[in-house]
Amino acid sequence: MPFKIGIVGVGYAGFDTMTPGLSTRELMFEAASRAYADAGIDPRKDVQSFICCTEDFWEGISITDEYMPDQLGAVLRPLCTVSSDGLVGVATACMHIASGLADVAVVESHSKASDVVNPNEIMSFGFDPVYNRHLDVDPRFLAGLEMTRYLKDSGTKREYCADVAVKNKKNALSNTRGVYGTNLSRETVLASPNAAAPLTELESSKVIDGSIVMVLASAEKAKKLGDHTVWVRGIGWSSDTPVIEDRDLATAAYAEQAAARAYKMADVRAPVSAFDLAEVDDTYSYKELQHLEALKLAAKGKAGRMVDSGSFDRNGKLPVNASGGSLGVGHLLEATGLHRLLEAILQLRGQAGQLQIPGARKAVVQSWRGIPTATGAVAVLGN
């Protein structure tokens, strides 16, 4: 039987550089209330599983599970926390539903990055404490190393990475959630200060606050809820080795492996022609190119040239990050994968406003948890 789980409700709140008038819990409550209204459900009666994707270090609180139920309507209900990207939480919800554990599951993830005073220290804490963790060094040094290796091994021109930032920030100008939308030239991007050479600051996404909630349901239940269901046809996730020295920094093995599983589940045999749009991780400019090649949406070493030629523009052959991605909208920490999913769902529903891609019916969504991890997920969506 084909895999088919419905996303029947979506809600979000925030999407700004700072949200001083709202606490983390208030952001979550707003997003959850909108998602439940969208799906037409009562969380106290209709939901059997709640999943939150958070990381204690970003929250500044230990055992964050204890602080999640109230604002989601999950008090005294089954709730678990997944310390990973939001798209991995969606995969967890799919497993709960496919196993018969739940008919309806809710996934939430958020960012209150404006409250974090030591983001570099938190990122650095993820590195090996003996060999890789460095005091007073920007943890993005790993992104600089990866970018250098990717450019060398793939033969990609340096300028093509800058084109990614130009494209995505321009797309974000048409997105109501696009905090960092702007018109830039390739030269301006290349001339911006270094984040971790050769990566520049304009090629490195900046954080924002926000919360996103998704309501998923079994195929049978989804038919009774909402009127704009988007179906998850396949989903996969993977983690490469945590040992940086053992990785091939030129490739995104986690994305290749996750995509292979999602494509097999969804019976996608020719990815390059299977989708109407793609929302892929662009935490850093080179990552979009690396991920496109890992997803087999571009041949090895060809993604940069395709960006330069306009193939991945909003009106191109395959629109990639028509939303503006993380470079244009902003990075949402563990909720970044849910943001990629949200933008794809709005497209498939025909609710993307000025960003709308005519006739969009199939999409691929990909996430990456960020430095220093090699963890990611891929979902195939369809109407």
CATH architecture of structural domain 5-117+207-222: 3-Layer(aba) Sandwich (3.40)
- Residue 336 carries which side chain, given as an amino acid letter? T
Residues of the chain above pLDDT 70, percent: 100
Query: Which residue type sits at 148?
Result: T
| pLDDT score of 227 | 81
Which of 15, 10, 14 is closest to 23 using CA atoms? 14
Q: Does the pLDDT of residue 112 top 90, yes or no? A: yes
Q: Distance (Å, rounded) from C-alpha 147 to C-alpha 139?
A: 14
Asked whether the CA dihedral 327, 298, 339, 331 is positive or negative, the reply is negative
Token pair 């000025």 in the structure block, residue: 354
**Closest by alpha carbon to 58, among 15, 20, 114?**
114
Averaged pLDDT, 86-101: 97
pLDDT band at 181; cut points 50, 70, 90: very high
Domain definitions of the chain by residue range: 5-117+207-222
Task: Tell me the average pLDDT across 169-174.
Answer: 98
Asked if 115 contacts 60 with a C-beta cutoff of 8 angstroms, the reply is yes
Backbone angles phi, psi at 46, to 5 degrees: -105, -15
pLDDT at 1: 56
What does the alpha-carbon distance between residue 14 and residue 17 come to, in Å, rounded to a whole number? 9
Task: Express each pLDDT in 136-153 by its tens digit.
Answer: 889 999 999 999 999 999
pLDDT band at 379 (very low <50, low <70, confident <90, very high): very high
Question: Which whole number is the average pLDDT over 242-271?
Answer: 97
Angstrom CA distances, 235 to 167, 188, 258, 342, 378, stand at 27, 38, 8, 15, 6
Q: What is the mean pLDDT of the chain?
A: 96
| Residue 16 region by backbone torsions, left for phi larger than 0, else alpha for psi between -120 and 50, else beta | beta
Side-by-side strand order, sheet with 49-53: 79-82, 49-53, 104-112, 209-218, 5-16, 230-239, 375-382, 362-368, 277-279
- Work out the average pLDDT over 286-290: 98
- Is the entire prediction scored with pTM above 0.95? yes
Q: Indicate whether 2 pLDDT > 80.
A: no
Rg, Å, the chain Cα set: 19
Residue 285: is its pLDDT beyond 90? yes
65 pLDDT band, cuts 50/70/90, is: confident
Tell me the average pLDDT across 345-365. 97
Q: Report d(CA 294, CA 97) in Å as an integer.
A: 28
pLDDT, mean of residues 316-333: 98
Say what percent of the chain tops pLDDT 90: 94
Mean pLDDT of 339-355: 97
Residue 143, token pair as written in the block: 């992104």
Chain segment 25-48, per-residue pLDDT in tens: 999 999 999 999 999 999 999 999
Q: Is the pLDDT of residue 308 over 80?
A: yes
